[in-house]
Every structure is written in C-alpha cells, then in structure tokens.
Amino acid sequence: MIVHGLADARVALAPGRPVLLVSGPGAALYAGCGWWQAMIAAARAEFPATEADDLFDCADAPGRALEALRLGLRNLVLDPECPAFPSVQRVAACLGARLLSRVPAALDLAEPGAKRRLAAWLERPG
C-alpha cells in the first residue's frame, strides 16, 4: 500500500489486516529518511496490534539509501541502474536489510477511489 503521510498510514492500518506500507516513489529525495522513520513509528504506535512492514523508496540515490540504513530502516528500494547498487546491496546484506530493485505491486492511496478499493486489496492472497 503506497502511503504519502500519516493519514494514509492510518487508513491502511485501521482495518487491522497485515499490510506493507510503501513510501511514495522517490520519497527519500523529497521527504527524507527521518520523516519516513518518524511517520512509520507514529503509525505503528497508533495501531500496535496491526502487523505492518514498511518499504522506503530511495529512487536512484545511493546516499539516501545508505542514510536510511544508518537510521535503521531495513527495507529499501533502489534503482538497479544506479552504479552504486551492488555496493549498497552489500552493505544492506551485512546489516540484515533487504534492498529491492523495484516496488512490488501496491495500491496507491493517493489515487482516486483507492480508499474504496482498500478492503478488496487487503483480501488479496500473498
């Protein structure tokens, strides 16, 4: 589920179903790692019983990905065309983090009608 702020995270977590909270595309570049970390912590504090993982999109910015890893974020996306991708991947592996080359299919809560489709999206297998 692509969330663009705390309000979206609340909507995603409120049903109480397991969910993957994904940042907006390239959020590391415009919002920053600290914002994502704080927003996820606040959302989890409000919905402690809801199983949620998070995935932070670093676009093509390896420095932002390394910053995110230093802050303790453990699920990141980095453009595989980035020349530093293999290096960041090695660092992530050493830290027990996961570095993906693309965002998995996700419902973007900023899309018109997304909130109406939320229940069906959460019921999808896998």
Is residue 119, in this structure, part of any structural domain at all?
A: no
Is residue 49, in this structure, part of any structural domain at all?
A: yes
pLDDT of residue 125: 74
Helix (H, G, I), strand (E, B) or coil at 94: helix
pLDDT of residue 15: 95
Is residue 124, in this structure, part of any structural domain at all?
A: no
Host domain of residue 29: 2-110
- Tally the domains of the chain: 1
Is residue 106, in this structure, part of any structural domain at all?
A: yes
| pLDDT tens digits for range 71-125 | 999 999 999 999 999 999 999 999 999 999 999 999 999 999 999 999 899 888 7
Q: H-helix or E-strand containing 56?
A: strand 52-57
Is residue 120, in this structure, part of any structural domain at all?
A: no
Is residue 118, in this structure, part of any structural domain at all?
A: no
What pTM value is reported for the model?
A: 0.94
**Band of residue 8 on the pLDDT scale cut at 50, 70, 90:** very high
Decide if 125 contacts 19 (C-beta within 8 A).
no
Other C-beta atoms closer than 10 Å to the C-beta of 91 total 16
Is residue 123, in this structure, part of any structural domain at all?
A: no
Is residue 75, in this structure, part of any structural domain at all?
A: yes
pLDDT of residue 126: 61
Rounded to an integer, what distance in angstroms lies between the CA atom of residue 125 and that of residue 24?
23
